Chains A and B, each alone.
Chain A
């Protein structure tokens, strides 16, 4: 067993190295850059037999990544936030090429205002693209998920690229003990890349990603990709089972923590779910029947597993670290659509928060549990709430007042 201290970015790089990625098109952006720098160093030093190329933008980077995958090599790439947005045309485009590769997105909040710290609005922008999405809560999970993502995306039933998501700063720059899988065991779990006919060879010329005229071929290809994404649900379960038997770590599509007998559960993705686990433990000590349900897989959406875990609960506290302007939390809306009209559907209580890296304190977790309990008792879901404290507002107002005073003194 090889246990080392790794940041989330280090773990992502190790995932690419153990997957023996052939090609790594890259472009720097905070907080992702450490991943490509690490891989570049390994490839230069000969510790890894890969080719790193720096493109001039994420739009080009994603194009090069997919074009290389479509030529028949295993590809890894990574980005964050504005980079993902800049490449978004190609995220949506290349998913349809059915040439799988893995992209690690290090979540960082989007402009405006421009900032460095994380939330999930960036990666949810890729939600409808055809990329599979795996969301991680720990550094170990980042490494393991990269390996699972390759196996899943390259599955003959699936053939789609995948995003593995980790939170900027909270995971990307946090060192945790990570078990490095044995390279031979990884090779057993993840066989060499197979192009399955999607490749460019002089003896077998093909056309890829050609235009269509009319809606019938268009719908045909879009439905094919959707059905392939749905086929990734059973394929994921198989890959996770194979991973568990090879490495002993279980990464189900939906993680349930002390949820079985819980009446109320937290529902969220990403590294802050570990804070929710801590809150669950404290509230359990106080006698509350509470748990956590965390979808790791967000695309395809594991509706069946979610229903299994959530139907029959009194209330679900949905914590969205994202914001769809004019609607609210994305996870909340999606979960509602999965549970609506089902017998035993729980009351959903929506909270939006932790935008731009804002913490969610233990007290807030307890307060959300209290609000959910009261709502369940009353049988009425409260209006969605935006997490923000009087203290935060006061601090902001003070800053504004200071800046205003400074301006008046110099003019």
Chain B
């Protein structure tokens, strides 16, 4: 990889991840993985947790140039531990050459990352495991039909929170949970901002230890929008301030994009069927104000 990505011109022109996978049209998760894979390359073992992306490798095909192993929903970080430890043992005992080494990359959705897999993730960070953790976050259990997960935003309608108020809880702050562990690195990214994403991958690759890449993954089927709108929805997630782009490195959090002025959250919500109940048959001003107030409070804290 060449040094220092500054603009679109510095991004790789070769695409490494194969096409023709079983993902939905307009999948924001796959979009991010494409961009990330171009940068991290094939000397990687993707250790997968149960989720949409489990279907990327379906026997006897795979879009990956490097390694892949499916584990379970809860234990992908432990799989990465086994792979990393085994490679370290083989290197130390000189049973493999140094250039046979590979990077362990956990690939997990928000269901695994925010919920069932948190214990294994927390412990892998505790142990200082040298790995990348790639979370594609489509804010629900996507491959089972978008049930509420720990990543579901306030008031979103899901197949398990279908009432007029949608989901009553608030999206869990995975970035803060990671940062509280003092990892080597943590960042939020989105495929709709490829330069910001690439800079963060570049930084992550320059470090060792536990590193989180949390990608918001606009999901046409789960969020209910047209596939061709995926990029636009992603941009609105950033410009509205709903999904802050930031990184944690060396103990400090830095916002890499500060939307100014922020567009009203309404502009983001209105484009998605999962929030349609906030606008029709009656406009739900109270819920809209709650969401806007929460975003405003977040950014007041950033100043």
Contact = CB atoms under 8 A, between A and B. Distances in A.
Interface of A: 22-23, 25, 49, 51, 53, 55-57, 59-61, 63-73, 89-90, 93, 97, 200-203, 205-213, 217
Contact of A213 (B43, B58, B89, B102): B58
Interface in B108-139: 119-120, 122-123, 126-127
Nearest to B99: A202
A23 B102 contact: no
A71 B83 contact: yes
Interface string B53-84: 01101111010111111111011111111110
B72 A65 contact: no
Contacts of A97: 69
B94 to A, nearest CB: 12
Contacts of A69: 82, 86
B57 A73 contact: no
Contacts of A206: 67-68
Closest 3 pairs (CB-CB, A-B) = A67-B82, A60-B78, A71-B86
Given A55-B78, A67-B86, A207-B57, 4 more contacts: A56-B126, A63-B82, A200-B45, A210-B57
The size bracket of the interface on B is 35 or more
Contacts of B122: 56
Given A210-B59, A212-B58, A201 B96 contact: yes
Contacts of A210: 57-60, 62, 68, 70
Contacts, number: 158
Nearest to A71: B86
Given A60-B78, A205-B65, A67 B83 contact: yes
B24 to A, nearest CB: 16
A213 B21 CA distance: 13
A72 B86 contact: yes
A207 B62 contact: yes
Contacts of A23: 82, 85-86, 89
B296 interface: no
A232 B89 CA distance: 29
Contact of B67 (A51, A205, A212): A205
Nearest to A203: B100
A274 B123 CA distance: 42
Among B80, B82, B86, chain A packs the most CB atoms within 10 A around the CB of B82
A135 to B, nearest CB: 27
Contact of A200 (B59, B83, B85, B120): B83
A213 B119 CA distance: 30
Given A56-B119, A207-B67, A207-B68, A71 B90 contact: yes
